[in-house]
Amino acid sequence: MAVVEVEHLTKRYGDLTAVDDVSFSLEPGEVFALLGPNGAGKTTTVEILEGARPRTSGSVRVLGHDPARRPRELRERTGVVLQEAGFEEEFTVAELVELHGRMYPRRVATAAVVEQVGLTDKAHARVRTLSGGQRRRLDLALGLVGAPELLFLDEPTTGFDPGARRRAWDLVEGLRRDGTTVLLTTHYLDEAEHLADRVAVVVRGRLVALGTPAELGARRQDAVVTFRLPETVDLSALPALDGVLVPDGLDWHLTTARPTAALHTLTGWAAGRELEIPALTVRRPSLEDVYLGLVAGAGETGPDDPADDGRPTRRRGPRASGAGSATPGRGGRLASRRS
């Protein structure tokens, strides 16, 4: 049974259709990426799956439940890492993780989670003293403390330096090895390519492509063979090549659907004359080329400033009720953090 099933999901905010007839599903143990530029509807989709936002239409099943009914079981079996979270600033890292963990029947020990996200040396530091990257790791800890079967990660590495990013990637890979199903959103193509088993490309609310990174990269078969002519040779001496040949300074670019045959013709001709072809390369379109093509084709200029998506910051404090005097809430400042 699919862990997440989304069919014809649509979400409108007034006149704006933020999510437009989107369908996809997640298999158990899969890392699935929603990839798209800012404003594509990724966070809205994830929030609907978390049960944090009502949908306009379509059907959604998460671990067999309708998240709109906010079933307790769903909350206990899923972990959520918000794109932007506010924290209770006066708690220490360990306190916040501890309190948050009380919501979950299968919780992981606080020290273990803090270690997992690399915050052991900050365990007793107050949240307000953490750097942006450390806060993001605290977000991760809160998402993981319940030993979730399904983890939602909304832009988990936005604003990270390369080292922190690599550690976050390692963490996600570790979760995959442990069998956790992960739905992550990102506007970084390399992140989707590196982490995800399958990628759904979303642009302006619409799902424009879905497949493994390799499948998406192979959507365009054309390759470009680039070469220069040996100095002694005139273009008219070349054999006929299958494709479109255009000049670029001293280079020639042959765009061809049959690069193997074209190369065979070209190199066979050169070898027969004992000619060396300078600057000979073959380039396949990368997933990035394909992605940028999809984004442009859907009428976007490309990913814009990730810091400005006009969304209000959501509060991230322990939602535990019945934690007695330890229940936070009063006096905690709402962090307004833009990652």
Q: What residues line the site for ligand ADP (CB under 6 A)?
A: 13, 16, 18, 36, 38-44, 309-311
43 sits near Mg ion (criterion: CB under 5 A): yes
Binding mask 65-104 for Mg ion (x = CB under 5 A): ------------------x---------------------
Closest CB to ligand ADP among residues 84, 98: 84
For the chain, the residue count is 339
- What b-and-e string marks burial along 275-296, b requiring 16 or more CB atoms within 10 Å of the CB? beeeeeeeeebebeebbbebbe
Distance CA(154)–CA(185), nearest Å, equals: 5
Closest CB to ligand ADP among residues 38, 110: 38
3-state secondary structure of 261: helix
Strand order in the sheet with 16-26: 16-26, 4-13, 57-62
* Total of chain residues touching Mg ion, rule CB under 5 A: 3
- What's the token pair of residue 68? 């709109």
Chain-centroid distance, C-alpha 16? 23
CA torsion angle for 110, 116, 117, 119 (degrees, to 10)? 60
Closest CB to ligand ADP among residues 215, 309: 309
45 sits near Mg ion (criterion: CB under 5 A): no
Work out what residue 116 binds among Mg ion, ligand ADP, none; the CB cut-off runs from 5 to 8 Å by kind: none
Residues 48, 11 contacting (CB under 8 angstroms): yes
- What's the token pair of residue 278? 């300078």
Closest CB to ligand ADP among residues 103, 201: 201
186 sits near Mg ion (criterion: CB under 5 A): no
**What does the DSSP 8-state code read for residue 127?**
G
Work out what residue 102 binds among Mg ion, ligand ADP, none; the CB cut-off runs from 5 to 8 Å by kind: none
Closest CB to ligand ADP among residues 34, 172: 34
- The minimum distance between CB 306 and Mg ion, in angstroms, equals 8
List of residues contacting Mg ion (CB under 5 A): 42-43, 83
